[in-house]
Structure formats: C-alpha cells, structure tokens
Chain A
Amino acid sequence: MSALRRLLGAPGLWVAMALAHLGIAAALARPLALMIGAAIAPYSIDRPGGLLPMIAEVISGHPELGVALGVALIAGTVLAGALWLVAAGGVIDRLRRPQPTAATIAAALRFLPSMAVLGLYSVIPRGLALAGLRFDVLGLGWARALLVLVGWTLCTVALDLARAAVIRGDARRYHPTTLLQGFAAAVTRPTVWLRSALLSALGLALSLAIVALAARGFGGPSTTLWLVRLLAALGVGVSLWRIAVAVDAGER
C-alpha cells in the first residue's frame, strides 16, 4: 500500500485533523476580533482600499492589539505542535491499518508519553538546525538556509520513522537511540527522506501560498478566507501524507 493510499484510506482522520486546525485558528482569532471591535467601537471604517493607515492608527492608539496578534500567532504554532503530539500515536496507528475511531483515540492516548519523549529528543537536532540560521559557522552565506531546510527535513523524517517504529513495536519507547535509529533509517533510505522532504516543502509552499493569498486579498471579499482555509486543510493532508511515507517505509 502506498503512502498516498494510506492517506486516502483515512478520510475521517484527515477531516478531523483539518477541522482541529481550522478550529484552533478561528478560536485564536476570536479574542482579537473582540479586542479590535472594542478599540474601534462605536465607530466604523469605510475605506475598502485604504485599511493600512487605519490599522496603523488603531494599533498606534492601542498597542495591545499588536501584542494580541503576536500572542495569537505564537499560540497557534504551539497548539498546532501540541495537537500533532497528542494525535501522533493515533495518526500513525490509523495510517498503518484501518480501525475504529475509538481504537485510534486509544492509540493516541497509549502512545502519548512515548511520542512526547521522542518529540523532546528531536528538539535538540531541530535546535541545532535552526542555529544554523543564526550562526554561519561554515561561511555558506545564503546557502545555509538551504542546508538548514535539509537538516530540518531530516529531523522531521527521522522523528516520523522513530515514532512509526515505536507504534509497530520495533523500537524502545523512551530510549534516545530510537530517535538515532530514525536518523540512521532516514540517511540509509534516501528515497524516503527525499519523499518526506518534498512533502515538507509542499507544506511550506502551501503556507507561503496562504500568506500570499491573505496579503493580496486583504480587505477583499470573504471568499479569500475560505480559500485560505481550503489551502490549510490541504496542508494538513500533506502533513499526514508525509507521516504516511514513514509509516509505509516501516511496513516494507
């Protein structure tokens, strides 16, 4: 069974994860909407193409709005990370084989500690990869960004492979060597790494598309937001597909 077939065979999982993402983003935006509304009330603005100066004026008068926006963005990222962590065991188990929803939830709960520990281990190599952006020790200039991206995708596929191995029962749940074995598996199976990296890149491209769409359509019709949500749902599918690549590699 290919990774894509595994994904398409679990439409409920995709829908559930996408809805969770959309729900988190919408919920985080809601307090911001209330704050902006309170800052403007009882007035209105009727300048469809001239919102930027109005935004500058409202934020200069209410700097807490800028803070609230930052908090929403950070909280969204943290919650997304938490969501994938909590769901990881269930997601992998469901991508391995069809099963009832209850079994998926049970797997998520059963493997949560292990997924969390492995996730914590992966923070170290991810941190090292990100440090490459800050410190150009190799003198690579702009090429270091590409190197960081490669390193980041390696961390991602290694964690996916390690977690999949734990779910299969092929690896120790909490031992750091499990993650190291994931790295070894990724490096020795470059096609798996490549497919995973391509899907990571596709996810990144979808995120950039969301930003571009939001910027270009800012202040425009509400259909823009629905297009953004559609792209985000596709992005969730791409992430699941990437995990399915690791699951599929372990099953072969």
Chain B
Amino acid sequence: MTSRRRTLGLALALSVAACETPPPAQRGDAPEPSEALRPEGERGEVPAEARIADYEIDARLDDETHRITGTVRITWRNRTTRSVTTLPFHLYMNAFRAEDTAWMREARGSHRGQRQGEEGRWGYIDITRVTLLGAPQASDLEVRAGEPRELRWAEDEDPSTMTVTLPGAIGPGESAVVELDFVTQLPEVFARTGYAGTFHMVGQWYPKLAVLDPQEGWRNHVFTLQSEFFADFGDYEVTLDVPAAMVVGATGIQVSDEPGEEGRRRLRYRAEMVHDFAWAADPDLLEVRSEWHGIRIRQLMRAEHAADADRHEAALVATLESMEARFGPYPWSTITVIHPPSDAGGAQGMEYPTLFTTSPVIQPRPWWRLLGLEERASGVFTTIHEFGHQYFQGLLASDEFREPWLDEGMNTTSNALALRDWQADDPWVVRLGGQRIDENDMTRLALTFTTSLDPVRAPADRYLELSHSYGGTVYRKTGATMLTLRNLAGAPAFDAALRAYADRWRFRHPRGDDLVAALVEGIGAAVDLGDAGPDGPVRLDVADFLDQALRGTDEVDFALTYVDNRRRIGHAGWHRDEEGALVGGDDPPPEATPIDELDDAEVEATVQVRRAGGLRMPVELEVEFSDGASERIWWDGQERYHVFAWPGRRIRRARLDPDDKLILEGHRLNNLRYAPGEAPPAGDGLSAPLTDGAEALTLALMGGMSL
C-alpha cells in the first residue's frame, strides 16, 4: 500500500467512523425552569376560581410488563351551587380493554389507519382502592381529616367511566380529598398511547375526575372513537419511578431527580393550571433544548429523527409567535415535543398540556428534485397543529366530547393563520414545478368529500367511522367557515373578536354558543359587503351564516349558469302615444341577426348566478366587458338564482368570488365562464395542460421500454 493510498484509506476510515458516531445525547443548554407558569407579567392573570382539581400522583413503570402501578390523590373543590353525592371518573384506558367497549365497537381495531397491536392488544386501568381521605370543608360528610374511609365504586355500563359513591354530599364551596390506587396496563402503541419496544407513551393513564357543570351536573362522557377529553384545571405533582436509563419527557417542569430502588430513579414533576398529565419514557431518546422568551422548548427523539429537530423548532417558534399575538400569552414556562419512533406511529400527533407528540418530516427522495416536487407540511404541520392545541383546548378548555369542533376546528383555523404568519404571503404546502397547493386548497379538497353528512356542531359520537365525515367536517369545515367569515368581515374585526373570546375564556370551559356570541359581538350582527346595484347594499348576517355553516349540512356552491349577450328589449311593436292611439308597429331586428351585428345600445350583457349549494350567503360577482372594463357586484345569495343585466354593455366573461374569499366553497370549477365566442385561445385552461401532460407521459412510456 502506498503512502498516498494509506492516507486515503485513513481518511475514509475516519469519515466512516465520523458518520457512525452517534449524535450527542443532548443539544442546547436551556435550563429547566424553576416555575411551572411564566411570571405573571408575561403570562397574565390566572383566575383563582379556575383551579378545581389538584392531582398528586405517585406511579411506577415496569418496563418489562409495560404496566404502571400508582396512587393518585385528588383534591376537588366544588365551585358550583350544586351538591353532589357521587364522584364520576374517566377510566380512558379501559376503552382498549375489550372489543365491545364503546370505543372499540366503533374503531374495529383500527385508529387513523393504524391497526391494534397483536402482541399487546389490550390496555386497561384497574382501580384497586378508593379512599376518602378527608373533607375538611364538607360538613355533611361523615368523615373528618385524618379519618380515611373506604368508598364504594363501580364501573359504569361502559368501562371507560366509573362512579364513586360518597357517604354524604359535598356542597357548594366545599372540597374533598380522595385517593385511588390503580394499575394501568399499556397496550402496544395504539390510538395515541402505549409502548413500542422500550418506548412508552403514557397518556390517559390515571383515573380522571369528571367536570361538574353548574347547570347540568356531572359531565362524564363515555370515551368513544372520535372523542377526546375534558377535565378541570388544577395543579399536578407527579412522581414517576422509572428504570434509571429512561429519558423522560412529561407535562410541566421537572423539580427533582433522585435515586430510587436499585437501578431506578424517581423523577418529580410539577405542572400548574393544567387539566391533564402525560409522559413519555425511552432509554434511547436524544434531547434538543432551546428557549423562546423564557419558555423552555425540549424535543425528545431517537437518532433516526434527530435531523428533523431544527425544522420542528422553527415551526414551533413561529406558531408560538403567531398564537401569542393572536390569542394571548402562552402561560406555561415549558413545552415538550415527543417524536415517537417509527414503530410507534400510533402515538404521533397528540396533544397534552405543555407536551405534544409530533410526526417525522418526510425526507425528500432524489426523484422529487427531478420532478421539481417540494413539500413543507410533513412533520412540521403536525407540530403547528399539536402546539395550537395548547390554546384550543389546553387553555380554552372546551368539552372535546360534546363539541369537538371547538378545539379541533378552531385549532385548524389558528393553524392556517399561523402558517400565513410564518410563510408571509406565500403559504404553499406542496409545489410541483410551477404548480402549488396551499392550505386553502387542502381545505377545499377536503370539503368536496364527506362534509355534508353531519353538522359541525355535533357531539363526537355522532361521527361514525364508516361515514368518514369526522375529519373533514370537524377540522376542515370549521376552519373553512371561520376563514370565510374572516375574509368577509375583514381580518381586523375577526381577529379582534377571536382575541376577545380567547381572553375571556382562558382557563375556563367555553361552549360553542360562547364563541358564536363573541364573534357576533366583535364583528357585529351584520357585515356590509358592498353594492348590489339597484337592490342596495348586501349584508352578511353573521349569526345566520354561522348557524347555517355550523349546525347545518348544506354546502356553499355557486355556479354561473348563464353568461351571454342578448338583444336588449327595445320599442318594436305597437305602443299607445299620449293621446291613446296605437303608434309604431316597427319590426324588431330579425331573430337570426347575430349579436355582433347589433349596435352596443341594442345589446345587454346578462349573467345568471345560481346557488347550487343549500347554504345561503352572499357572493361577489365580477364581470369583464368586451371593452376591457370590469365591474363587481354582490348578490345576497338568499334565493336560488339571480339574473344580472347590463344594458348597452357586451360581456366577455364573469367570475364568482374573484378574491377567493369563500374558503367554504369546495367546488370552484363553475366559478368562471366566458360568453359564447369570447373563450380565450388557450381553451378552458385545464384541458390543454392535462392533455399535454398525458401526451408527454405516453411518449415517455413509449420511449422508455427499449422495445
């Protein structure tokens, strides 16, 4: 071997070794915050009455059996005017206990395209003891502090809920402390939670108290396929006993890390004013830390996803900036992003307070470059969406079972706005050569499928899996409704109304009516849209629009059913003069006279607009005349059709919704129409490009086969 070859060989060996060097276990040195909430000056006021249920949890993970044994002590404050004699609980993990639970009956072993694991198919939570520790302010209870009392409990008809019977009533303003021992068996990762090898995603794993509604009493929904969660705010003190090698990411901040039994650690976490607690543990997780305006950002991922960290962080920071500006300050001092490994896909894309799971960025293939294909949605859009949930419903804690649109749909709205804020005026999602698809296009495509089967304002269990209507309706149609309203009402009015809603309902449980009321109040009952010609101005009735779009299943679809130039009605025929005598008798121009041969004064441009969809709302019409001039006019869209005429003008073409404001209109092909004889040389705008593309592909196949 020559010296030169030796040097080359050494360099090659070093470069290979460098490639095989694992990435560092931690990147970035943003320290763990000392407080779970940001300083009051930055986060704003937290209403004291919002703190209702405090949880102290001590849990131990057995990473061999994937089982968690724990105790939860809950201090609950009755802030309503009702007295209660029972405490209902959610046992969410029991949704995966058997094939006949409400959740599994609908899911049939599948969730978001992921099948239930075959090895660890079932997950469950078993309550082994319930004790009333004391009710220092509950005078009716036959217990006092320091006198624990075993309580009776029973699972309800569906095992995802249970009811604890109290020995007496807890009255208004009183509180109680109960302690529950539980064993949670994690399933193989499925529907957001579970294990995959050494990775554990632990969500909805402990008994959670239901929410006491001042008017309706306890609200304790059965866990169904499309429903998520609902709980009161409170402070969490959680101790996790895990194998020493585990890297753990959890809701809130870590306040201590102490040695436990041999080979184990006891990690203590604190979260304030949250309504859930989730965590992930895996010995192979790498950590990327950063900080934004005092908020510690912590990403945990395996080496396979390490290259995605910067892209996710950019998306997260951009979304934080956007949402703080739009919906008020983010109150917590931390946010943790879990990147589930590739064999734990079912855990991707789920939100918990101050913690969410994301999905990987799709790595561009070499042939993408060949085709000019680019995308910037994979992975980062999950980060944008799941972070958005920190507001909708982490902070604005709506009932995700009763009104899933309030969190998923409003979050989708905020995601679109965040994407625009981040990408400025060019919010494309996918590009192919000179073609692009943006967020509005994605929404409209979803609207063309199954969004007219169920209304937006419906409980989660109304959306049956076989209808495939949940995603399109709850996420996309809500987003389209809100963005359409924003386009019509104007961004400043809409944004201010939404900000007022967010400010009013932070750390509370808003309902759909609260949001609608905030929008009507902020925007105004009606929005003046513009001139409708002789019929006067056209107004959008905000409440009526929202009612139709959110409670109904009608679609928005307008079509140009007639665009042409007609002979204007003149004075041919007999008419009476001032003395009452019949005069005139002129013939009209012959029927066959081409319009082109008539004087302009004898012609009128005519457009008929039809409301093909059932939803009544205004639409703007733009007409372009043959002399190059153009004019815009609004139609209120209340009737099924309307005819517009411009005497003395010749029309070239008409276009509905020229500024693309009606995001709620999924069908756009019928929005542009040329008058006969006025079609452009390029044809309809779609046939030629598609045909050219087909011809090119045919030629490529014909030549590429070496026949």
| A residues lining the B interface (CB < 8 Å) | 21-22, 24-26, 28-30, 32-33, 36-37, 40-58, 60-61, 69, 72-73, 76-77, 79-81, 84-85, 152-153, 156, 200, 203-204, 206-208, 210-220, 222, 224-225, 228-229, 231-232, 235-236, 238-239, 242
Interface residues of B in 561-601 (CB under 8 A from A): none
Partner of A24, one of B448, B680, B686, B702: B702
Asked if residues A73 and B435 are in contact (CB atoms below 8 Å), the reply is no
Mostly, the B contact residues are mixed
15 inter-chain pairs at a CB distance below 8 angstroms, sorted by A residue, are A32-B690, A40-B684, A42-B673, A43-B672, A46-B655, A52-B432, A52-B436, A54-B669, A58-B686, A76-B701, A214-B696, A215-B372, A222-B688, A228-B692, A235-B703
Pair count A-B, CB < 8 A: 222
Chain B residues lying within 8 Å of A228, measured Cβ to Cβ, are 692, 695-696, 699
**A44 — which chain B residues lie within 8 A by C-beta?**
653, 672-674, 679-680, 683-685
Q: Is A40's CB under 8 angstroms from B699's CB?
A: no
**B697 contacts A by Cβ under 8 Å:** yes
| C-alpha gap A239/B703 in the complex (Å) | 8
Q: Is B691 an interface residue (CB 8 A)?
A: yes
Q: Taking A29-B691, A33-B688, A53-B441 as contacts, is the C-beta distance between A236 and B703 under 8 angstroms?
A: yes
B668 touches A57 (CB 8 A): yes
Quick one: which of A32, A46, A207, A242 contacts B704, CB cutoff 8 A?
A207
Interface centre among A32, A43, A84 (most CB of B within 10 A): A43
B448 touching A60, Cβ below 8 Å: yes
Are B684 and A218 in contact, with the CB atoms below 8 A? Answer: no
- Considering the chains assembled together, what is the distance between the CA atoms of A170 and B673 in angstroms? 66
User: Contact between B435 and A224 (Cβ–Cβ < 8 Å)?
Assistant: no
Given A22-B699, A43-B684, A153-B706, A211 and B669 touching (CB < 8 A)?
no
B370 touches A72 (CB 8 A): no
The residue in A28, A55, A218 that gathers the most chain B C-beta atoms within 10 A of its C-beta is A218
Q: Is the CB of B371 within 8 A of A73?
A: no
Task: Flag if A215 contacts B695 (CB, 8 Å).
Answer: no
A135 to chain B, nearest CB (A): 21
In this assembly, does B700 line the interface, its C-beta being within 8 Å of a C-beta of chain A? yes
Chain B residue with Cβ nearest A201: B706
> Nearest-CB distance from A145 to chain B (Å)?
13
Complex Cα–Cα for A152 and B706 (A): 9
Which residues of A lie under 8 Å from residue B668 when comparing CB positions?
53-54, 57
A43–B560 contact, CB under 8 A?
yes
Within 8 A of A (CB), among B66-111: none
Find out whether the CB atom of B702 lies under 8 angstroms from the CB atom of A76: yes
A-B pairs with lowest CB-CB distance, top 9: A207-B704, A235-B703, A76-B698, A214-B696, A45-B685, A80-B702, A216-B433, A232-B699, A53-B441
B1 within 8 A of A: no
> Contact: B686 with A21, CB < 8 Å?
no
> In the complex, are the beta carbons of B373 and A77 less than 8 A apart?
no
Residues of A within 8 A of B16 (CB): none
* Contact partners of A84 in chain B: CB under 8 A: 707
- A41 touches which one: B444, B560, B684 (CB < 8 A)? B684
Residues of B within 8 A of A32 (CB): 690-691, 694
Knowing A44-B684, A54-B669, the reply to whether A214 touches B707 (Cβ < 8 A) is no
Q: Do B684 and A51 touch (CB < 8 A)?
A: no
Partner of B433, one of A50, A53, A215: A215
| With A51-B686, A52-B435, A73-B697: A45-B669 Cβ-Cβ less than 8 Å | yes
Instruction: Say yes or no: A218-B703 contact (C-beta < 8 A), given A54-B668, A55-B686, A208-B370.
Output: no
Given A44-B672, A76-B701, A80-B702, does the pair A225, B692 have CB atoms closer than 8 Å? yes
- Which residue from chain B places its CB closest to the CB of A155 in the assembled complex? B706
Does B693 touch A at the CB level, under 8 Å?
yes
Given known A-B contacts A44-B672, A46-B672, A52-B441, A204 and B686 have beta carbons under 8 A apart:
no
Of A33, A79, A203, the contact of B691 (CB 8 Å cutoff) = A33
- Distance in Å from the Cβ of A63 to the closest Cβ of chain B? 13
CB contacts (< 8 Å) of B695 on chain A: these are 25-26, 28-29, 225, 228
Asked whether B34 is an interface residue with its Cβ less than 8 Å from the other chain, the reply is: no
CB of B697 within 8 A of CB of A204, answer: no
Within 8 A of A (CB), among B675-689: 679-680, 683-689
